């Protein structure tokens, strides 16, 4: 199997008796082998040839939240161009956590800037940039924001559970 220099196609040696070579177009992406099927998926060809296709398919669902061996959940990189700033890379997370953290950080009196970006929509990764006034480190500001978010979510969970139980007792049913 060989790749063209622009990654616009791959060359595959098929396993049939003729040793045919076919060129398959591929878009830019993860390029992982996902499916193997006969050259003509509707009816098996006479040689029973099998080919592997590299395709731009979204990752499997479990790949969106399970960390690989040696992969860290959060990576820290201090900013060298801006004082009191750092870039945090969150692996296997998306806009949900990114926006919650950004919103909580900008409310802090010591945070000068907080913003996040998702480099590519198919990969569950976001980068959070935090700049503080110098009284608190960016790492400490992030830890404090996380602790405050956990407290808020615990209160939300308790209030929701209480309302759910009251609705069940009142005869409104608990089924949604």
Strands 50-55, 21-25: parallel, antiparallel or unpaired by DSSP? unpaired
Same domain, 85 and 44: no
Considering just the CA atoms, what is the radius of gyration of the chain in Å?
25
pLDDT score at 171 = 83
Instruction: Please indicate, yes or no, if residue 68 is contained in any of the structural domains.
Output: no
115 three-class SS: strand
Q: What is the pLDDT of residue 123?
A: 86
Mean pLDDT, the chain, integer = 78
3-class state of residue 78 by DSSP: strand
Pairwise CA distance, residues 24 & 54, whole Å = 8
Query: Does residue 10 fall inside a structural domain?
Result: yes
Name the nearest CA neighbour of 126 among 77, 74, 62, 71.
74
pLDDT digits (tens, 9 = 90+) for 135-144: 999 999 999 9
- Summarize the chain as % helix, strand, coil (round to 5): 25, 30, 45
One domain, residues 83 and 10: no
How high is the pLDDT of residue 67?
A: 83
Q: Which long-range contacts (CB under 8 A, 24 or more apart) does 72-77 make?
A: 76/139
Which residues, in sequence order, are CB contacts of 16 under 8 Å at separation 6+?
Answer: 45, 47, 48, 49
Residues 154 and 79 in one domain: yes
| Across 53-61, average pLDDT | 64
Could you tell me if 138 and 79 lie in one domain? yes
Residues 38 and 91 in one domain: no
Tell me how far apart the alpha carbons of residues 91 and 73 are, in angstroms, rounded to a whole number: 5
Q: Is residue 116 part of a domain?
A: yes
Q: Which domain holds residue 164?
A: 74-169
Backbone φ, ψ for residue 99 (5° rounding) = -70, -35
Same domain for 145 and 78: yes
In a domain, 131, yes or no: yes
- Domain for residue 47, yes or no? yes
Q: How far apart are CA 2 and CA 123, in angstroms?
A: 25
Could you tell me if 81 and 24 lie in one domain? Answer: no
pLDDT of residue 115: 97
In a domain, 120, yes or no: yes
pLDDT in tens, 84-128: 999 999 999 999 999 999 999 999 999 999 999 999 988 889 999
Work out the pLDDT band at 34, boundaries 50, 70, 90. Answer: very low
pLDDT at 60: 75
Quote the number of domains for the chain: 2
Assess whether 42 and 127 both reside in one domain: no
Tell whether 89 and 21 lie within a shared domain: no
**165 shares its domain with 82:** yes
Inside any domain, residue 159: yes
Greater model confidence, 57 or 134: 134
How far is Cα 172 from Cα 156, in angstroms, rounded to an integer? 21
Amino acid 145: pLDDT: 98
- Asked whether residue 62 is domain-assigned, the answer is no
Looking at the structure, tell me whether residues 114 and 164 fall in a common domain: yes
CATH number of the domain encompassing residue 96: 3.30.1360.10
């Amino acid at each position: 199997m060989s790749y063209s220099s622009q990654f616009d196609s791959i060359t595959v040696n098929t396993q049939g008796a003729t040793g045919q070579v076919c060129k398959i177009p591929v878009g830019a992406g993860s390029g992982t082998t996902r499916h193997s099927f006969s050259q003509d998926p509707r009816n098996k060809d006479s040689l029973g040839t099998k080919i592997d296709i590299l395709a731009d398919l979204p990752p499997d669902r479990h790949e969106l939240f399970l960390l690989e061996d040696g992969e860290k959940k959060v990576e820290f990189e201090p900013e060298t161009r801006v004082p009191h700033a750092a870039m945090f890379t969150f692996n296997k997370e998306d806009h949900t956590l990114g926006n919650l953290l950004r919103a909580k950080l900008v409310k802090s009196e010591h945070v000068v800037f907080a913003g996040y970006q998702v480099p590519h929509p198919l990969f569950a990764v976001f980068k959070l940039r935090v700049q503080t006034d110098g009284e608190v480190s960016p790492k400490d500001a992030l830890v404090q924001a996380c602790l405050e978010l956990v407290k808020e979510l615990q209160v939300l969970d308790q209030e929701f559970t209480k309302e759910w139980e009251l609705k069940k007792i009142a005869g409104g049913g608990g089924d949604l």
